[in-house]
Amino acid sequence: MNLSIVIPLLNEEDSLEELFSRIDNVCKTNNLSYEIWFVDDGSTDLSWSIIENMKVQYPQIHAIKFSRNYGKSQALHAAFARTNGDVVITMDADLQDFPEEIPELYNMVVNENYDIVSGWKKKRFDNVMTKNIPSKLFNAAARKVSGVYLHDFNCGLKAYKKQVVKSVDVYGDMHRYIPVLAANAGFRRITEKEVQHQARPYGTSKFGTERFIRGFLDLVTLWFVSRFGGRPMHFFGAVGTLMFIFGFLSALWLGVSKLIDVARGIYGHLITNNPWFYIALTMMIMGTLLFVAGFLGEMIIRTNREHKNYNIDEVI
């Protein structure tokens, strides 16, 4: 199979039939065999009923129904595990992405041997203050921290080699950082393609400005995990050891100072009256705790960590 197209959705009843029709037309025109995986992320409208009706007519449609809204990363995780196409394309269900971009994205992966081709919405039709400007700031920070130089991490329209989606574990809110996760896993042939964008024709956006706050926090998490995720003792152990040594040397200095005073016949100066005593004690305690945290981290990563934190009601 040439293509697997993964489409997470939440309350998109008005756009589903038009979206499928355009995808079907594009794939047939370009002689691409394909399957579509819709993932209903807890819709409360008629989205699932529409998908069920389309499934009766078109066997290339598959769908996963979550018991409630879990988020885009979980939707992608569930679909990636089931895809069969040589190239996997993700896109949003709101018709802001153009299905007509699919053939070129497919060709860039197959013929130019890219691992990932990420869409770049250079000209956006979103609110300037609440989306465009925060998005530019977010993407600039993401490029700087991750070392993956894409203009638009948030673009839902992306194409992947099958090996990428089968290797990368998408969890939490990490869907926007799949290229970074892939790069950390050794998939280095990552590029971007300028894609068309239009204002949402139906419904309302499911993402607010708070996604940028979560995005920055996820970026910090990703930075830490990419560097120390496999060796937490290298961070916690090193910092903890340095703090303990600093505290121990401070306490030793206080003890030696006290002995010198006693040798000189100076009495009455209590070590506990010196603020350095409490600093030294705190540093040793914190150093010990950090060292233990590093040790526990090493033990945890040796267990099988499962990110399937969602419940599936139905798969068709």
Q: What is the pLDDT of residues 273-309, one digit of tens each?
A: 888 888 888 999 998 888 888 777 666 655 555 556 7
- Where helices occur in the chain by DSSP H, the ranges are 16-29, 47-57, 72-80, 102-110, 133-146, 162-167, 178-184, 210-228, 232, 238-263, 275-300
Coil vs helix vs strand at 68: coil
**Is the confidence at residue 54, as pLDDT, over 70?**
yes
Quick: pLDDT tens for 167-214.
Answer: 988 876 778 888 888 988 889 899 999 988 776 666 666 555 566 566
**Residue 19 — pLDDT band, cuts 50, 70, 90?**
very high
Quick: pLDDT tens for 211-263.
Answer: 656 666 666 766 666 666 556 777 777 788 888 899 899 888 888 888 888 78
Give me the pLDDT at residue 126, please.
Answer: 57
Contact 187, 115 (CB under 8 A): yes
Long-range interactions of 213-220: CB distance < 8 A, separation 24+: 214/173, 215/138, 215/142, 215/154, 215/173, 215/176, 216/138, 216/141, 218/172, 218/173, 218/174, 218/176, 218/177, 219/141, 219/142, 219/145, 219/146, 219/177, 220/145
Query: Stretch 118-142: mean pLDDT, rounded?
Result: 72
What's the CA gap between 226 and 220, in Å, rounded?
10
Architecture in CATH of 3-229: Alpha-Beta Complex (3.90)
Give me the pLDDT at residue 96, please.
Answer: 87
Give me the pLDDT at residue 46, please.
Answer: 93
**Is the confidence at residue 78, as pLDDT, over 80?**
yes
Query: Stretch 46-63: mean pLDDT, rounded?
Result: 95
Identify residue 211 by its one-letter amino acid code.
R
Give me the pLDDT at residue 37, please.
Answer: 96
**Residue 269 — pLDDT band, cuts 50, 70, 90?**
confident
Q: Which contiguous run of DSSP H or E holds residue 63? A: strand 61-66
What's the CA gap between 180 and 185, in Å, rounded?
9
What's the CA gap between 99 and 26, in Å, rounded?
7
Residue among 11, 10, 14, 9 nearest 36 (CA): 9
**Is the confidence at residue 130, as pLDDT, over 80?**
no
CB atoms within 10 A of CB 11: 20
CB atoms within 10 A of CB 293: 17
Residue among 134, 29, 37 nearest 88 (CA): 37
Give me the pLDDT at residue 200, please.
Answer: 65
